Amino acid sequence: MRNQLSIVCNRLVATLFMGVLVSCADNAPKPKLPAAFPAKAAANSDALPAPAGAATNAISSAKPNAIDPAIPAPTVAADPLTSSATSNASVIELPAITMPKPAAWTWVKPSMQFRTLQYKVCHPGSGQAAPCADLIVSVFQLGDGGSVDANIDRWKNQFQNAQGAPAQPTRSQRMVAGLSVTRVDMRGAWKGMGMSEAQTNFEQLAAVIELPRETIYIRMVGSEATVESARKDFEAMVDGIAPRAPLGK
> Has residue 184 been placed in a domain?
yes
- The string of pLDDT tens digits covering residues 190-228 is 988 777 788 899 999 999 999 999 999 999 999 999 999
Instruction: Please measure the distance between the N-terminal and C-terminal CA atoms of the chain and give it in whole angstroms.
Output: 134
The count of structural domains within the chain is 2
54 with 142, same domain? no
User: Are 48 and 116 members of one domain?
Assistant: no
Please classify residue 212 by burial: count the beta carbons closer than 10 Å to its beta carbon, then call 0-12 exposed, 13-18 middle and 19+ buried: exposed
Domain of 223 in residue numbering reads as 91-243
At 119, is the secondary structure helix, strand, or coil? strand
Tens digit of pLDDT for each residue in 134-152? 999 999 998 888 899 999 9
Q: What is the CATH number of the domain that holds 101?
A: 3.40.1000.10
pLDDT score recorded for residue 192:
81
Q: For residues 185 and 206, is the Cβ–Cβ distance under 8 A?
A: yes
Inside any domain, residue 79:
no
Q: Quick check: is 11 in a domain?
A: yes
3-state secondary structure of 175: strand
Average of per-residue pLDDT across 55-65 = 41
Q: How far apart are CA 124 and CA 147, in angstroms?
A: 35
pLDDT score, position 245: 83
Q: Where are the beta strands (DSSP E) in the chain?
A: 91-93, 97-100, 106-107, 117-121, 133-141, 159-160, 170-176, 179-190, 199-210, 214-223, 242-243
pLDDT at residue 37 in the model: 39
Query: Each residue of 84-132: pLDDT tens digit?
Result: 545 557 999 999 999 999 988 999 999 888 899 999 999 876 555 678 9
202 bridge partner residues: 188, 223
Q: Is the pTM for the entire model greater than 0.85?
A: no
Q: 201 and 97, same structural domain?
A: yes
Question: What is the C-alpha to C-alpha distance for residues 83 and 78, in angstroms, rounded to an integer?
Answer: 10
Cβ pair 142, 193 in contact under 8 A: no
Q: Are 112 and 179 in the same domain?
A: yes
Residue 180 forms beta bridges with which residues? Answer: 175, 210
Q: State how far the Cα of 181 lies from the Cα of 194, in Å rounded to an integer.
A: 28
DSSP H helical segments within the chain, as ranges? 2-27, 36-46, 54-62, 148-158, 224-229, 231-239
Q: How far apart are CA 34 and CA 127, in angstroms?
A: 80
Verify that 52 and 7 share a domain, yes or no: yes
Q: Considering the chain, what percentage of its residues have pLDDT values greater than 70? A: 61
Q: Are 182 and 173 in contact (CB under 8 A)?
A: yes
